[in-house]
Amino acid sequence: MSKNKAKIGVLLVNLGTPDSTATGDVRKYLREFLMDGRVIDFPFIPRWMLVNLIIAPFRSFKSAAEYRKVWEERGSPLMFHTVDLRDKVAEKLDKDKYVVEMAMRYQSPSIEEGLKKLNKANVRKIIVISLFPQYASATNGSVVDKVMEIARTWQIIPNISFVNNFVDHPLFLEAWAELGREWMAKQEYDKYLFSYHGLPARQIKKGSVDNYCQLSDKCCGNYTKKNQFCYRGQCFYTTRLIAEKLGIPMEKTITCFQSRLGKDTWIQPYTEDVIEELAKDGIKKVLVFSPAFVADCLETTVEVGQEYKEEFIELGGEQWDLVPSLNSNDTWVECVKELVEENS
């Protein structure tokens, strides 16, 4: 590689988190996040009313209290794990060839700041990796949208490439399998639950080519070229691939969806309902994976690791173990390095 050739810029983008656990900061974060038309996909006026008159004013107190439960000395786990990931990936890549930055889709550091840094480094190409393994319009789609909104104001737009999803990247799967094996070496579980972030069902239907997706096991249960971008299909596929790596029979796995917001129908089965059914069926020991997230955050640590656990134990379950997220696990770092090199 010639040292005279301009470098390639890499932008790792995660969701975003409040600047602090103060209610005002949480409200500001929720407003920016939920006013994104790809997250709450309503027309502007009803979305503005829902977010600014209902969700942000009321939810910010509850959310701030939840954020206090995960906040550490280094701040929000989602933030510091993403910083650690960026540092480790930068360390692994050839420094003469790459410059690596991280950004958050909402709040800070913003995508605009990240892109500015890459521009200042005079990069010849930008590779954007949204740190969401399964494609959703609300996440990966929104990152593409934001990057293009900024880039279209530039005089010179370098080559920009986006990683759409990485559900079947062998190192992504291996990283989860490594973490799962640590728990499975200690004991046997009755069931293996894969709990993914939920989405309003209509968002899946909107993205379905020729109305293929009926949100049934028949379509989402088979990942084919017809539903290649179906979030629900990609989640079932992720479960299958991780289970295969770990030698878990499919009948011992359950794929479900958490974090429903509001009264609309979201993709199912809902994790809360599955927990009730497991308890009713006398299931005692459950190992839980949350592979829609690559860093521990509110959704994994509090929602799955604490709230769902309490619910399961209250209903008669005995053990509910949450596999920690990929964070800055070495195999995951290697996966991101490969994603960069494959797209260079």
Ligand X SMILES: C=CC1=C(C)c2cc3[nH]c(cc4nc(cc5[nH]c(cc1n2)c(C)c5CCC(=O)O)C(CCC(=O)O)=C4C)c(C)c3C=C
Task: Using CB under 6 A, list all residues that contact ligand X.
Answer: 15, 17, 30, 39-40, 59, 63, 76, 78, 132, 136, 138-139, 197, 199, 231, 259, 261, 292-293, 297-299
To the nearest whole angstrom, how small is the minimum distance from the Cβ of residue 200 to ligand X? 6
Secondary structure class of 228 (helix, strand, coil): coil
> Binding residue per annotation — 169?
no
Q: How big is the chain by its Cα radius of gyration, in Å?
A: 20
To the nearest whole angstrom, how small is the minimum distance from the Cβ of residue 299 to Fe ion? 7
Give the span between the Cα atoms of 88 and 114, in whole angstroms: 17
CB within 8 Å of 85: residues ≥ 6 apart: 12, 102, 131, 294, 295, 327, 328, 332, 333, 336
Q: Using CB distances below 5 to 8 A depending on partner kind, what does residue 132 bind out of ligand X, Fe ion, none?
A: ligand X
CB within 8 Å of 95: residues ≥ 6 apart: none
Q: Using CB distances below 5 to 8 A depending on partner kind, what does residue 305 bind out of Fe ion, ligand X, none?
A: none
Does residue 128 contact residue 145 with C-beta atoms inside 8 Å? Answer: no
Residue 13 bridge partners (DSSP): 103, 130
Residues 218-257 that bind Fe ion (CB under 5 A): 219-220, 230, 233
Which among 273, 269, 271, 261 has a CA at the least distance from the CA of 232? 269
Q: Using CB distances below 5 to 8 A depending on partner kind, what does residue 213 bind out of Fe ion, ligand X, none?
A: Fe ion
For ligand X, the closer of residues 93 and 256 by Cβ is 256
Burial environment of residue 25 by CB neighbours within 10 A (0 to 12, 13 to 18, 19 or more)? middle
To the nearest whole angstrom, how small is the minimum distance from the Cβ of residue 120 to ligand X? 28
For Fe ion, the closer of residues 3 and 263 by Cβ is 263
To the nearest whole angstrom, how small is the minimum distance from the Cβ of residue 187 to ligand X? 29
Binding mask 175-214 for Fe ion (x = CB under 5 A): --------------------------------------x-
Give the span between the Cα atoms of 121 and 124, in whole angstroms: 9
Q: In the complex, which residues of this chain contact Fe ion (CB under 5 A)?
A: 213, 219-220, 230, 233
Q: List, as residue ranges, the binding site for Fe(2+).
A: 197, 299
